[in-house]
Amino acid sequence: MKIHVRGDHHLDVTPALKEYVEKKLGRLERYMDTDEAKEVSVTMAVTRDVHSVEVTMPVSHLLLRAEERSPDMYASIDMVVDKLEKQLAKYKHRVGQKVDQRQKVEGSRAKAGQRLARGADHEQEAEEVELAVVRKKEFDMKPMHIDEAILQMDMLGHDFFVFANADTDRTNVVYKRRDGQYGLIEAR
């Protein structure tokens, strides 16, 4: 696993800080198969005495992302690694369950399912999370410009809004960021 650590907002990452991040993220390797997460991106920032750490980690067909903020950089690192560890354990546990279900249907157990199921924490195994769609909405997407979509989102009081971009004829999402600014997600 290759870890890229960078400082944002005039923060110089010290060798001790970088070593701490690498040590902490190294413990996540027990959840992964070889070469599963090749490039991990870590961004650290300090804004008004709030130390934030953001980690982006591509794993198989999934992109894990976690962000934490606290008054101490080392505490932020610990919290973000704990969050990623829970995400990885949950993902591996669910993948293991799906493999086990397929194997029961086929009437045999393969070694791959056992290897994937082993990655889950005992605590995570006890905590069964059922992901189910509880509400479905359908709506017509009329083409609109980005500023119109932001206005619509604000009027609805939502944190995000899906719309058809009038400029590109593609589905886009505008969302409100924690800093009060707006973000745009464009489909390729």
Residue 162 neighbours by CB distance under 10 Å: 16
Query: Residue 64 has which token pair?
Result: 């894990």
Q: What is the DSSP letter of 27?
A: G
Fold of 143-186: SHC Adaptor Protein (3.30.505)
Please, where in the chain does CATH 3.30.505.50 lie? 143-186
Q: In the prediction, which pLDDT does 105 show?
A: 46
Please, where in the chain does CATH 3.30.160.100 lie? 2-93
Q: In the prediction, which pLDDT does 171 show?
A: 92
Q: In the prediction, which pLDDT does 76 show?
A: 93
- Our CA angle for 177, 156, 151, nearest 5°, is 65
Please determine, looking at this structure, whether the domain spanning 2-93 carries the CATH number 3.40.190.290: no
Provide the residue-wise pLDDT of the chain in tens; the chain has 188 residues: 788 898 886 788 889 999 999 999 888 877 776 555 578 889 999 888 889 999 988 877 677 888 999 999 999 999 999 998 888 887 777 766 555 555 554 544 444 444 444 544 444 444 455 677 878 888 778 899 999 899 888 877 788 999 999 999 899 999 998 888 999 999 88
Q: How far apart are CA 172 and CA 152, in angstroms?
A: 14
Q: How far apart are CA 73 and CA 68, in angstroms?
A: 10
Q: In the prediction, which pLDDT does 47 show?
A: 86
